[in-house]
Amino acid sequence: MTAEASVDTGRIVLLTASHRVAPGLLSWPAWQALRSADRVCCADEAHPQLPYLREAGVTVEPGVPGAEELVAVCAGGRTVVVVTSGAGESPLTDGLARLAGSGRVAMPGLELLPGSYDLPGARLLDLVEVMDRIRRECPWSSRQTHRGLAKYGIEEAYELVEAIEDGDRTELREELGDVLLQVVFHARIAEEDAGEPFSVDDVAATIVEKLIHRHPHVFGDEKAETPEEVKAHWLRTKAIEKQRESVTDGVPLGQPGLALAAKLASRVRTAGLDVAVPAGEDVGYELLALAVAAEAVGTDPEAALRAAARAYRDAVRAAEGLGGRAAGG
């Protein structure tokens, strides 16, 4: 082995940390690298990790040396940790890549060390942050109200259903985002209410509490082996929570007619009530009877009618000499 080959060229560690995780909450390998490094540096003097590193006794030098200087610093087996701040390190990494490609310099080892990772759902924090800024700075968004946005909630829900029925995975992902936006937007508006403000965290806390309470077979001691038993648990806990007088209480009457009829029929059947379907000569009663019959055999009459309507649309387009999907869905 030659003397040149035996030289320890050292190590450069690029330490990353998620901005969605509280500063100072770093992994044990990250803390080990920081404490054992010969030098720690950071280009961003306002980096949120710096106060916590200094509190832990880690000396952080302001600024990051250029590529050639950094390679020279590492010579002799030294380790330099660079606390990264996103795109700010691209000149450094580009410079290191050029040096390595030149073949002129014995390069130190280069390691990318994640100091913290995003947990599932972490990108929701980005959505909340973006929505907060839009609410403050956008002339249109800053003037919106719950009532004014209501129609968009309905539209987005229908577009989501259409994406599901079309089986379009790309469209499904986008429409789920649009529905989620409505939730975050309304929650952001609710924060400004003078009388009863609440935030998106309150919204999330409410649904978490509800889900836990209505799933005692998951979070409690009760047992449920079948979907029917799960539904029975759900209905029992819901009835206790709401303390409703009628099984029809809580059914939104403003929903589409077939869906409304099916929902009422489902409530009646689940409650074990013997209620005759009203009869009449109006076409509405015929539709009601069809919806009740469909629900009884597990068919969603609203979805069934949409499927039939799409077939009708395709027939119309065929008669017009057209093909494929109609513009605008």
Q: Could you tell me the residue ranges of all domains in the chain? A: 11-114, 120-213, 255-314
293-321 pLDDT, tens digit per residue, is: 999 999 999 999 999 999 999 999 999 99
181-230 pLDDT, tens digit per residue, is: 999 999 999 999 999 999 999 999 999 999 998 888 899 888 888 888 88
pTM: 0.69
8-31 pLDDT, tens digit per residue, is: 899 999 999 988 888 999 999 999
Distance CA 84, CA 49 (A): 10
Distance CA 1, CA 106 (A): 15
**280, burial (CB in 10 Å: exposed 0-12, middle 13-18, buried 19+):** exposed
* Domain 11-114: assigned CATH number: 3.40.1010.10
Distances (CA, A) of 299 to 95, 254, 255, 275, 312: 64, 21, 17, 20, 20
Question: How would you classify the pairing of strands 39-42 and 79-83?
Answer: parallel
Question: Looking at domain 120-213, which CATH architecture does it have?
Answer: Orthogonal Bundle (1.10)
